[in-house]
């Protein structure tokens, strides 16, 4: 009996010393979404060889469901989403080459929805440019897009957006991890076992340090939002007085690749569970949202700190900020109005930040930040075809304006 009591006592001491894992609260929304698994159809990764032309989807970020000849110079590329119903983000990505130099036409045939993204091409998967408008056109309505290309023995990438998949994003994380204020780690695994990356930015002790959370790539094709996030984070890491002061005062938690399965598999919208992750911030049915939500909550509790601001980077047809309405007053209210005004003044000209407030309805990150922490929640949307140099300019300016406001707070 005495031995049993000793064992129980030691076990209690062990439990009290073990790190406590906290979980995110469930939340109810006026428009709930069922985020339990929905079946998907995975694309078959292969190389097609038709009439002397090779087409493949054997790289991360590809999307090609079939490739066949229509005639000697025209080819049909079938593009299908991972499941249905789905958002109209008709994403495609393939690599082409031929046994000799030749001009061909690739017809993108979408099984669902319409053509959306201006074709981007690259000879190396690193440097990209948008195809001239004279080189592509929609046919038979807009579910077919004919793309004119010059191909040869060297591979040519044809994609809806620049490839920013797990390898490229990991490389970026490793590069910025060379900064003395950055710690790079993996916080969990996706549904298919891919790494979920985490960048932790700050100086000194994390105890009671107010925190900003940054999220990106919940939706796979939304590369322009990711590019804005890169510029934003890199400005926070800049070697200047403002950025150093900001890193000393705040902690910045960055999750640059929320949906690695969807990104690497070239999905239009969903994760490997067939779910829009940005509708799963209520009961966290998918492993990606559960991992990040619980990790943030646990870390905040552990360090007796609080999340004051959450930024979720996305892409849509035009640049816009989706924000909270005025009666939803976060702990840093009226930060949003001052931030957007400052951004407009910083960029100047006829730039309009396009602020669109919306009240709590569905389980998205913007509302989760507010309900879970009382934090300001903002969805930072970038247009599909926004010029890449302006994405950089705006991302830098947005970071600078945020830092100026919060350093002075």
pLDDT tens for 36-67 read 999 999 999 999 999 999 999 999 999 999 99
pLDDT at 2: 52
User: pLDDT tens digits, residue range 86-140?
Assistant: 999 999 999 999 999 999 999 999 999 999 999 999 999 999 999 999 999 998 7
How far is residue 105's CA from residue 16's CA, in Å, rounded to a whole number? 67
Q: Where does a domain end: 123, 140, 159?
A: 159
Q: Mean pLDDT, the chain, as a whole number?
A: 95
142 shares its domain with 234: no
Is residue 130 one of the residues assigned to a domain? yes
Is residue 385 one of the residues assigned to a domain? yes
Q: Where does a domain end: 159, 187, 203?
A: 159
In the predicted structure, residue 4 carries a pLDDT above the cut 90 = no
Provide the total of helices (H) and of strands (E) in the chain, helices listed first.
9, 19
In this structure, what CATH number is given to the domain that contains residue 315? 3.40.630.10
Integer Rg of the chain from CA: 23
User: Do 408 and 242 form a contact (C-beta atoms < 8 A)?
Assistant: no
203 shares its domain with 127: no
Is residue 25 one of the residues assigned to a domain? no
Is residue 131 one of the residues assigned to a domain? yes
Q: Is the CA virtual torsion 279, 285, 291, 297 positive or negative?
A: positive
How far is residue 299's CA from residue 334's CA, in Å, rounded to a whole number? 26
User: pLDDT tens digits, residue range 364-379?
Assistant: 999 999 999 999 999 9
User: pLDDT tens digits, residue range 162-184?
Assistant: 999 999 999 999 999 999 999 99
178 shares its domain with 147: no
In the predicted structure, residue 347 carries a pLDDT above the cut 50 = yes
267 shares its domain with 332: yes
Is residue 120 one of the residues assigned to a domain? yes
Q: Where does a domain end: 159, 189, 210?
A: 159
Is residue 174 one of the residues assigned to a domain? yes
**What is the pLDDT confidence band of residue 141, given thresholds at 50, 70 and 90?**
confident
66 shares its domain with 170: no
User: Phi, psi at residue 211, to the nearest 5°?
Assistant: -125, 140
> How confident is the model over 151-157, as a mean pLDDT?
98
364 shares its domain with 312: yes
Helix (H, G, I), strand (E, B) or coil at 221: coil
129 shares its domain with 183: no
Instruction: Supply the range of the domain harboring residue 136.
Output: 47-159
How far is residue 159's CA from residue 94's CA, in Å, rounded to a whole number? 6
pLDDT at 139: 87
What DSSP character marks residue 63?
B
**C-beta neighbour count of 386 within 10 angstroms:** 19
In this structure, what CATH number is given to the domain that contains residue 97? 2.60.40.3120
134 shares its domain with 183: no
Segment (H or E) for 214: strand 211-216
Q: Give 267's Cβ-side CA count (13 Å radius).
A: 28
How far is residue 109's CA from residue 106's CA, in Å, rounded to a whole number? 9
In the predicted structure, residue 6 carries a pLDDT above the cut 60 = no
Is residue 5 one of the residues assigned to a domain? no
pLDDT at 20: 52
Is residue 20 one of the residues assigned to a domain? no
Number of domain units in the chain: 2
């Amino acid at each position: 009996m005495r031995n049993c009591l000793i064992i129980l006592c030691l076990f209690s001491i062990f439990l009290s010393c073990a790190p406590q894992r906290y979980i995110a609260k469930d939340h109810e929304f006026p428009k709930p979404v069922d985020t339990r698994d929905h079946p998907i159809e995975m694309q078959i990764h292969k190389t097609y060889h038709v009439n002397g032309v090779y087409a493949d989807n054997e790289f991360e970020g590809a999307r090609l469901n079939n490739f066949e000849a229509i005639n000697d110079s025209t080819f049909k590329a079938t593009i299908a989403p991972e499941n249905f119903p789905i958002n109209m983000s008709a994403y495609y990505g393939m690599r082409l080459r031929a046994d000799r130099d030749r001009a061909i036409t690739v017809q993108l045939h979408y099984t669902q929805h319409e053509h959306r993204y201006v074709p981007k091409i690259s000879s190396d998967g690193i440097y990209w440019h948008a195809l001239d408008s004279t080189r592509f056109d929609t046919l038979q309505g807009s579910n077919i897009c004919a793309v004119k290309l010059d191909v040869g023995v060297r591979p040519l990438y044809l994609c809806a957006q620049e490839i920013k998949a797990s390898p490229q994003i990991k490389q970026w994380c490793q590069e910025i991890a060379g900064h003395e204020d950055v710690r790079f780690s993996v916080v969990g695994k996706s549904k298919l076992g891919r790494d979920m990356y985490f960048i932790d930015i700050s100086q000194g002790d994390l105890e009671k340090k107010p925190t900003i959370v940054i999220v990106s790539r919940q939706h796979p094709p939304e590369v322009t939002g990711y590019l804005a996030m890169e510029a934003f984070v890199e400005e926070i890491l800049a070697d200047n007085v403002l950025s150093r002061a900001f890193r000393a005062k705040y902690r910045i938690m960055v999750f640059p690749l929320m949906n690695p399965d969807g990104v690497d598999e070239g999905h239009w919208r969903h994760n490997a569970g067939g779910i829009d992750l940005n509708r799963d911030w209520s009961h966290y049915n998918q492993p990606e949202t559960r991992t990040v939500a619980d990790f943030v909550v646990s870390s905040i509790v552990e360090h007796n700190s609080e999340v004051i601001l959450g930024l979720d980077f996305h892409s849509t047809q035009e640049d816009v900020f989706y924000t909270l309405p005025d009666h939803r007053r976060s702990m840093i209210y009226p930060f949003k109005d001052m931030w957007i005004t400052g951004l407009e003044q910083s960029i100047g000209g006829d730039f309009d930040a396009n602020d669109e407030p919306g009240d709590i309805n569905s389980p998205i990150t913007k509302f989760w930040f507010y309900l879970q922490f009382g934090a300001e929640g903002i969805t930072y949307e970038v247009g599909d075809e926004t010029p890449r140099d302006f994405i950089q300019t705006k991302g830098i300016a947005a970071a600078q304006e945020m830092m100026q406001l919060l350093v002075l707070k």
